[in-house]
């Protein structure tokens, strides 16, 4: 993602260079901390978008979204290889998918009524069990990646340095 | 009689704009919806002849217009999913949409009665301030995917009405 710096005033190149040199440390620190904030934001978006009871449930997707800092190059959030290995469903959750619709499995719901029951929609989570269950609804698109990129862009626009903050 | 609020106005304006532009350009086999479930509800046989576009208004950021003021600027994030029936159609359709969004589009305020839109009045334009388009890849062979998910593309639009809300 490109970083554009806007200067307000009548500075020439010499003054702009001096400004960047003077503020380099704080600019780098702000951008670095933005990496951590972005990873946190992505985790929050995922956690807040979940619609079924989560108490005591594993959080593999959030747990495997980390920020990686590269000296002098910047940072990245979410290692695709790691996600492919430990939270394989990350793409389906982000983009939404119909791939499970129509498939049958054996399970039960908890908490609440263990049998599939439309009146208890989203009140329980599917666990391995003995009821034959046919999946009818698609995975809704969470778009946590697009929402996080949007968050990051707004944060970058709001970064200000120097006297005219 | 009731009126849509800003978010629904934006969503409906975008849907209407896409439908109108598709029609003007001679696309006859595209349906525009605002939920995934309606698109996934299109039977496979019908879907194979008819692509679909899903328009969703997602997060909206409200930023203070000026320090010390309570007025805000609104920046809605609009996600447009293309469900095509071939790779060629996916690429053509996404380029078509990118092209029509470049100039922005009319913003309408809608009045409804029951589930029917009874009137609309244009009140400004929706500006597209940033656009990304990415193919939707599930990281598996396409033939193993459900037919609706095989040729998908996602457009992300950052939009603005270009005015301050009091």
Return the residue in A85, A150, A157 with the most chain B beta carbons within 10 A, the one to mutate for interface testing: A150
Whether pLDDT at A68 is above 80: yes
Whether pLDDT at A144 is above 90: yes
Q: Using an 8 Å Cβ cutoff, are A66 and A43 in contact?
A: no
Cis peptide preceding B29, ω within 30 of 0: no
Whether pLDDT at A5 is above 80: no
The secondary structure element, H or E, covering residue B119 is strand B116-135
pLDDT in tens, B69-87: 889 999 999 999 999 999 9
At residue A122, the pLDDT reads 77
A143 vs B contacts (CB less than 8 Å): 58, 79
Mean pLDDT of the A32-60 span:
89
Mean pLDDT of the A71-94 span:
92
Q: How confident is the model at residue A118 (pLDDT cuts 50, 70, 90)?
A: confident
**DSSP one-letter code for A139:** B
Distance (Å) of CA B4 to CA B1, B58, B61, B112: 10, 16, 19, 8
Asked if A146's CB is within 8 angstroms of B138's CB, the reply is: no
Residue with the larger pLDDT of the pair B113 and A111: B113
Whether pLDDT at A1 is above 80: no
At residue A149, the pLDDT reads 94
Residue with the larger pLDDT of the pair A1 and A32: A32
Query: Which residues, 6 or more positions from B96, have their beta carbon under 8 angstroms from its beta carbon?
Result: B21, B22, B25, B27
Write out the two tokens for A165: 């903050």
Q: What is the pTM of this model?
A: 0.86
At residue B126, the pLDDT reads 97
The region, left, alpha or beta by phi > 0 then psi within -120 to 50, assigned to residue B102 is alpha
Tell me what the pLDDT averaged over chain A comes to: 86
Using CB atoms, pick whichever of B36, B79, B154 lies closest to residue A138. Answer: B36
Q: How confident is the model at residue A163 (pLDDT cuts 50, 70, 90)?
A: low
Whether pLDDT at A164 is above 60: no
Query: Which residues, 6 or more positions from B80, have their beta carbon under 8 angstroms from its beta carbon?
Result: B14, B18, B53, B54, B55, B56, B97, B154, B155, B156, B157
Low-confidence residues of chain B: pLDDT under 70 = none
Gap from B165 CA to chain A (nearest CA, Å):
18
Examine the predicted complex and report whether its ipTM is higher than 0.90.
no
Q: If 0-12 CB within 10 Å is exposed, 13-18 middle and 19+ buried, where does residue B68 land?
A: exposed
Gap from B119 CA to chain A (nearest CA, Å):
32
Whether pLDDT at A71 is above 70: yes
Angstrom distance (rounded) from CA B33 to CA A91: 22
At residue B53, the pLDDT reads 97
Mean pLDDT of the A103-107 span:
82
Whether pLDDT at A99 is above 90: no
At residue B25, the pLDDT reads 96
At residue B46, the pLDDT reads 86
Asked if B40's CB is within 8 angstroms of A138's CB, the reply is: yes
Asked if B81's CB is within 8 angstroms of A141's CB, the reply is: yes
Asked if A98's CB is within 8 angstroms of B138's CB, the reply is: no
């Amino acid at each position: 993602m490109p970083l554009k710096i806007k200067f307000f005033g009548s500075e020439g190149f010499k003054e702009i260079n001096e400004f960047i040199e003077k503020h380099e440390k704080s600019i780098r620190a702000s951008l670095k901390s933005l990496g951590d904030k972005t990873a946190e934001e992505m985790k929050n978006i995922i956690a807040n978008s979940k619609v079924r009871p989560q108490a005591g449930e594993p959080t593999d997707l959030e747990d495997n979204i980390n920020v990686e800092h590269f000296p002098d190059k910047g940072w990245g959030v979410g290692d695709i290889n790691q996600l492919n290995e430990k939270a394989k469903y990350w793409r389906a959750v982000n983009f939404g998918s119909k791939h499970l619709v129509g498939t049958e499995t054996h399970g039960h719901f908890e908490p609440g009524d263990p049998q599939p029951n439309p009146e208890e929609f989203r009140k329980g989570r599917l666990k391995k069990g003995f009821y034959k269950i046919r999946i009818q609804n698609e995975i809704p698109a969470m778009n946590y990646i697009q929402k996080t990129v949007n968050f990051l862009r707004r944060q970058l626009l709001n970064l200000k340095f120097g006297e005219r903050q | 009689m009731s009126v849509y609020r800003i978010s629904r106005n934006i969503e409906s304006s975008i849907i209407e704009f896409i439908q109108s532009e598709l029609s003007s350009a001679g696309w006859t086999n595209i349906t525009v919806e605002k939920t995934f479930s309606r698109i996934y509800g299109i039977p496979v046989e019908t879907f194979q002849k008819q692509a679909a576009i899903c328009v969703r208004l997602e997060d909206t950021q409200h930023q203070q217009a000026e320090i010390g003021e309570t007025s805000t600027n609104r920046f809605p994030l609009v996600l447009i999913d293309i469900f095509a029936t071939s790779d060629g159609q996916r690429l053509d359709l996404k380029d078509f949409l990118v092209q029509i969004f470049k100039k922005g589009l009319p913003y309408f305020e809608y009045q409804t009665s029951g589930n029917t839109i009874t009137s609309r009045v244009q009140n400004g334009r929706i500006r597209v301030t940033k656009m990304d388009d990415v193919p939707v890849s599930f990281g598996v062979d396409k033939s193993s995917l459900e037919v609706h998910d095989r040729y998908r593309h996602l457009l992300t639009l950052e939009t603005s009405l270009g005015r301050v809300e009091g």
